[in-house]
Structure 1
Amino acid sequence: MTAERTAEIGTVDAGPARTADTLTLDHRPGRWIANWDAENKEQWESAGRSIARRNLNWSIFAEFLGFVVWQLWSIVVVQLPAAGFKFSTNEIFWLISMPSLVGATLRIPYTFMVPRFGGRNWTIVSALLLLIPTISLGLCVANPATPFGLMLFVAALAGFGGGNFASSMANITFFYPAREKGWALGLNAAGGNLGAAVAQLAVPIAITVLAAGTVNLPVAGFMWVPLILLAAFGAWKYMNNLTSAKGDVAGSLAAVKEPHLWIMALLYIGTFGSFIGFAGVFPKLIKDYFPAFSSISVGTVALSLAFLGPLVGSLARPYGGRMADRMGGARMTVAAFAAMAVITLTMLWTLPLKNFWLFLVLFLFLFTASGFGNGATYRMIPIIFATSSRAARSGASAVTTQRLASSALGLISAIGAYGGFIIPQVLNASNTASGSYTSAFYGFVGAYILMLAVCWFCYIRNANRNAMGHV
């Protein structure tokens, strides 16, 4: 998805003077900008960079809140018994996994909303949509008699937050030149991912402060309403729409026909899917394995250490991309899967020691490895489509392969997010069948080894022969 130059120039409100080498930015009502060309260095340095950075900042904030809302139920379900709810383990896992199922599905249509409505306009709408799941959560958890069906529906509404990632990433793609796009998208993704950690840190504190040993669970939803309104206002006041942001349905259809899209989607389920899946279940795993450490009292408030998992995973993501630049994305991805398999096995084999701190440290290593894998896998996609896709091998232009890569990034991010549904459901199935999560974790180890083998076979073994080089 690349910016297209506009042949006509409208009335000039701001921007650099027109020369033979640059198009003057045309600022139109509704904060629309015409003639945007991030690849034009003169335009970029004189006005484009500051505009792009302002839009990136508010995009990160809105996406951050999207991840917060997406992960709210992961910590709320752990607190339901204290609030008087009596749900089975199977029902609890459905409440954890339903936001990921809906969020992953919404990522596909959300990808096309920016070209249809404008990046600023859709950021306002997508931010305001977050009011629905947060207010609904606050209302339904206030009454322990709320039926499970209604609770599951409200949990599904949290999927609005998961969809935000796709539209936010698509929007920022249009603002930045190719030479700076990777870093901008990395910041946008990492800033959003941090929302999972902040939700798991802030909610336990907020619902127990001044609650005199009980929980004020509705606060878990209501506390985010002012920030959501701030994000919507900031998008309305400071963000922009680009007339050059064009939809690429044809590019998405072409990308679906590329075998590499499905290979990379499998790998991304293993990396990002593990991150978001384990982020959702980590609070429950701590409560089930080490109930005494599920909530740590600090004065009058309770603190859950589960937030450390998504925190280290989020911070590791940009470094995974940077390391992939040096050693190759495929090699970094293989290393990440190897580490995830070894760490998971070590965690399983040390569980009989019943040492919470060892369990916590090993899970933090697992989150870190998944974060490195996220960055490395995402970095591989544009290179693979530029060198090894069917289009590239048939002599397609760089513009065509870039279109395919941009479309593939959106689709792969959507498919990978289904890991947030798969992991809780596999754990639930294991617990239902055997009363233990052990079988599920062994299954995850097997999946990591399979993905490692696929990545090695497709992108390392024949790298020189198929001209992929340093993927």
Structure 2
Amino acid sequence: MTTPASTRKHYITDWDPEDREAWDNGNDKIAKRNLIWSVICEHVGFSVWSLFSVLALFMGPEYGITPAQKFTIAATATFVGALLRIPYTQATAKFGGRNWAIFSAIVLLIPTGLTMMLMLNPGDFGFGWFLFVAALTGFGGGNFASSMTNINAFYPQRLKGWALGLNAGGGNIGVPVVQLVGLAVISVSTGRPEIVCAIYLVALALAGVGAAFYMDNLDHQTSSAKAMVDCLKHRDTWLISLLYIGTFGSFIGFGFAFAQVLNISFTASGASKPALAAAQIAWLGPLLGSVSRPYGGKLADKIGGGRVTMYCFAAMVASSAILVVAGTMSDANGKKIGTGELVAFIAGFILLFLISGVANGSVYKIIPAVFEAKAKANAGLNAKGKAIWSRSMSGALIGIAGAFGGLGGVGINLVLRQSYLSNKSATAAFWVFLLFYVVAGVVTWWFYARGEKTDNAVAAQRETDPVGSTDSALA
């Protein structure tokens, strides 16, 4: 008989996701239940992290916040969220995945309530207050690292690409959802931004209660400060972090900035209600980027994370070129944005969101594959030790790469801010993005895509080459 969620002890010992018999006889259902609520908690956390990307559209002159300051507010939220991914990665090992999911949901009630206070009192609080509260919303960005580390421990290697992609994609979708909530509020009542905050106060409470009832702690969560330090000694840590700057950094950076860029662009094109026009479109890019992420992981399971990531960077170079051409044409026309340039801006950004989502999933497929191969090559560890070391290092790299990815989002907002301040347009920023994607694509090809073997090919080789190496698994 199934134990009711309210009376279960929520603590699981001797969890082995690679035990196929146990997996087929119930462990898959346990993992799925934890995945569902992990997604919900991370989803709401992402929405709170992205609050100011929406509320910036409500902040008219009466708030005393300039467009450049809005980019700084977004960068502050992104920066804090990125930094918190390091300690959040270790939190599941110390406190348990379920326990930390409860805490990470409930603690976000504080910045959400403070944000409501700011929006209810336009002009009464200065720029410093907005920076402070935006920094607190960054706690929502930390949720990603703890959630991903937790789910990484629940799922077997053969399903990690899909599971991690689904977990991350479900969390990422919090960005477009909060923007859709903002659009609904703007459409009904432009002057009531506090409604957005009220909705998320309720959502956070529900996420915390759901995590308490339905999630579990595992006894083999092994992420630790030592693992993170050891992880930094490996070249792959720095390379994968660079790639994640280009993938997740693009997603979250554009997620925070897209609405503001659209608002500026619609204003320059002469739209009568630029904020409403921006809100009607801004959600689409993050939605496509979120939905595509699990499929990036699933595609990487089949043909290799390195190959998929390389193809994505090539496509992101082409998408950035669309923005560069449109921006150059606008600059040549006295910074005026015509219909053609506006359509090109929207199309270029939508493509970048979609492709970065696919690449987010494929990069995270590379992480466990790298350390599984390294573990198999370590003759000093027994089978159990190899599994523990691989999980520990993978969890550590998830946090490190997630932090670097978040910092990429900071860079996007600061580059856009400086481009607008210096040139009154975003064209210079578009050039920076394009060149970075070229570098990331070359790095991916050289270190991970050349001669890469799929999981099936590696599994077939194990009969004759049971030890393996990073080179044989990933090339």
TM-score (norm 2): 0.85
Counterparts of residues 26-425 of structure 1 (less than 5 Å): 30-81=9-60, 84-145=62-123, 146-209=125-188, 211=189, 214-291=190-267, 292=271, 294-296=274-276, 303-351=279-327, 352=330, 353-355=338-340, 356-387=342-373, 395=379, 397=381, 398-399=386-387, 400-425=389-414
Query: How many angstroms apart in 2 are the aligned matches of 1:147 and 1:418?
Result: 25
The CA deviation string for residues 118-156 of structure 1, in whole angstroms up to 9 with x for no partner, is 221111111001111111100111112211101110011
Question: Is this contact kept in 1: 2:161–2:300, CA < 8 A?
Answer: no
The CA deviation string for residues 252-305 of structure 1, in whole angstroms up to 9 with x for no partner, is 2221100110011001101110011011100011011123274447xxxx9521
Number of residue pairs matched? 438
Q: CA deviation at 1:409?
A: 2.1
Q: Does the C-alpha gap of structure 1 residues 34 and 463 become closer, same or farther in structure 2, counting only changes over 3 Å?
A: closer
Q: Does the C-alpha gap of structure 1 residues 307 and 241 become closer, same or farther in structure 2, counting only changes over 3 Å?
A: same
Structure 1: which amino acid aligns with 2:81?
Answer: G
Question: Is this contact kept in 1: 2:246–2:408, CA < 8 A?
Answer: yes
Q: CA deviation at 1:414?
A: 1.8
* Greater share of helix: 2
Question: Is this contact kept in 2: 1:77–1:96, CA < 8 A?
Answer: no
The CA deviation string for residues 362-387 of structure 1, in whole angstroms up to 9 with x for no partner, is 22111111112112211122223344
Q: Does the C-alpha gap of structure 1 residues 56 and 327 become closer, same or farther in structure 2, counting only changes over 3 Å?
A: closer
Question: Is this contact kept in 2: 1:459–1:468, CA < 8 A?
Answer: no
Q: Does the C-alpha gap of structure 1 residues 366 and 396 become closer, same or farther in structure 2, counting only changes over 3 Å?
A: farther
Greater relative contact order, per chain length (Cα 8 Å cut-off, separation 6+): 2
Query: How many angstroms apart in 2 are the aligned matches of 1:382 and 1:435?
Result: 44
The CA deviation string for residues 51-97 of structure 1, in whole angstroms up to 9 with x for no partner, is 22222111111111011011111111122016x21222331111111
SS at match of 1:109: helix
SS at match of 1:467: helix
How well do the aligned residues superpose, as a CA RMSD in angstroms?
2.6
Query: How many angstroms apart in 2 are the aligned matches of 1:38 and 1:334?
Result: 30
Paired residue for 1:436? 425
TM-score (norm 1): 0.86
SS at match of 1:141: helix
SS at match of 1:223: helix
Percent of matched pairs sharing the same residue: 39
2:471 to 462, 467, 470: 467
SS at match of 2:17: coil
Gaps of 5+ in 2: 331-337, 454-468
Gaps of 5+ in 1: 1-12, 16-26
Query: How many angstroms apart in 1 are the aligned matches of 2:401 and 2:29?
Result: 30
Q: CA deviation at 1:462?
A: 7.6
